[in-house]
Amino acid sequence: MSITIKVQTLSGISRYIKVEQTDTIEKIKSQLYSMDGIAPDQQRILYKGLALPDTATIESSGIKNDETVHMVISLKGGM
């Protein structure tokens, strides 16, 4: 069963994407990459304040139709 979720970025951009309950977070990141050009390994998807692992599915994460997840950019590096 497909649902629509809202992906909100820190820059204020909102994307509405149609997903299947069995889709993984990794697949969502790939969809966002094709829209925004941000590499999947630089994206973090947050739901209810928790970072979701790439292997989690929409269903196992508890994400429902019309809910919002947040995409933040994971900066790599250090001093």
Whether 36 is covered by a domain: the verdict is: yes
CATH code of residue 12: 3.10.20.90
User: Residue 79: its pLDDT value, please?
Assistant: 54
For the chain, the domain total comes to 1
Residue 79 lies in a domain: no
- Kindly list the averaged pLDDT for each block of 10 residues, start to end, along the chain of length 79: 94 95 98 94 97 98 98 77
- The span from the CA of 72 to the CA of 79, in Å, is 21
Residue 22 placed within a domain? yes
The string over 21-37, giving b where at least 16 C-beta atoms fall within 10 Å of a residue's C-beta and e elsewhere, is eebbbbbbbebbeeeee
Which structural domain range is residue 47 located in? 2-73
